[in-house]
Amino acid sequence: MSNGQKRRGKNPVAQARASSGSNRMTYLIVAGVVAVAVVVGVLIAVNRGSGSSADDAAATPSSTVTMPANTVSDTAIVLGQDTAKAKVELYVDLQCPACKAYEGRVASTLEQDVVAGKVQVLVHPVAILDDASSTKYSSRAGAAVFCAADEGKYWPYAKLLYEKQPAEGSDGLADSTLVELGTQVGLTSKAFATCVTTQAKASVIAESTTAATKGGLSGTPTIKVNGTKLEKGTLEELKAAIAAV
């Protein structure tokens, strides 16, 4: 009532200053609250950083089943039986950080479901991120996983390459490193080493990429369950899609 009159009667500048939250105490409180948010964020990030690699290390042995050896079809690397009702298709690029993150989320579930005969996994490696390294790591790694697939070891080798994934914008891993990593998952044959170093599968990864792009691939990872594209990228979504088949 009289308050309103007072307000109107006042000098507008002083009034604005008084009610605009521009006094020092307010600034300090706001700065403090924002600083707390920053500190909490850094703590979470640091915890996740150290925790997640430990989780990865722990997750691999804790999944009690091992993915069976793959076969190779014309268009894909195949894991699991043809009789499995759910066909999970993965379009992945070894250079793609989101592919690595997705693999970390779903790998043990896929392993269990494949072993249980519920799921057949069809992997389509593609190379669409050659510009993210100075050495076309995307294509070279894609070719290397096809070399591993020839010996039935796509899954453990790809897992290891995700684990050692070079940062985007880096030089990528050298061919010699790709060979060396193979030995860690039992790819010790001369044939594998030659396959990697001579880029014997360069045309295969190129064809796989062209086929996927023609098929409307917009990016990686793209995941389809019996032809239906997933959207959320959560483990729950994948489980539900498999269960719904």
Residues whose CB is less than 8 angstroms from the CB of residue 223 and which lie 6 or more positions away in sequence, other chains included: 88, 89, 90, 91, 102, 229, 230, 233, 238
Q: Does 29 bind other proteins (CB under 8 A)?
A: yes
Q: Is 239 in the site for other proteins (CB under 8 A)?
A: no
Out of 1, 8, 54, 227, the residue judged to bind other proteins by CB under 8 A = 8
- Is the Cβ–Cβ distance between 145 and 157 less than 8 Å? yes
Backbone angles phi, psi at 201, to 5 degrees: -105, 15
Q: Is 208 in contact with 142 (CB distance < 8 Å)?
A: yes
Binding span for other proteins by CB under 8 A among 39-47, 64-72, 146-154, 184-192: 39-47
Smallest separation, CB 73 to other proteins (Å): 23
Is residue 215 near other proteins by the rule CB under 8 A?
Answer: no
What count of other Cβ atoms lies within 10 Å of the Cβ of residue 104?
Answer: 18
The nearer residue to other proteins, 3 or 64, going by C-beta atoms, is 3
Residues contacting 120, CB < 8 A, separation 6+: 78, 79, 80, 81, 82, 84, 86, 87, 88, 114
Rounded to the nearest whole angstrom, what is the least distance from the CB of residue 214 to other proteins in the complex?
16
Q: Residue 191, interface with other proteins (CB under 8 A)?
A: no
What is the rounded CA–CA span in Å between residue 220 and residue 93? 6
Among residues 45, 65, 116, 191, which is the contact residue for other proteins, using CB under 8 A?
45
Binding part of the chain for other proteins, among 72-80, 182-190, 203-211, 231-239 by CB under 8 A, reads 231-239
Choose between 98 and 243: whose C-beta lies nearer to other proteins: 98
- Rounded to the nearest whole angstrom, what is the least distance from the CB of residue 175 to other proteins in the complex? 23
Q: Among residue numbers 81 through 140, which ones bind other proteins (CB under 8 A)?
A: 97-98, 101-102, 105, 132
Q: Which two tokens stand for residue 81?
A: 């039986």
Going by C-beta distance under 8 Å and a sequence separation of 6 or more, which residues neighbour residue 193?
Answer: 179, 182
> What SS3 state is found at 89?
strand
Residues contributing to the site for other proteins (CB under 8 A): 6-10, 12, 14-16, 18-23, 26-27, 29-31, 33-34, 36-38, 40-42, 44-46, 48-49, 97-98, 101-102, 105, 132, 167-169, 217-223, 229-234
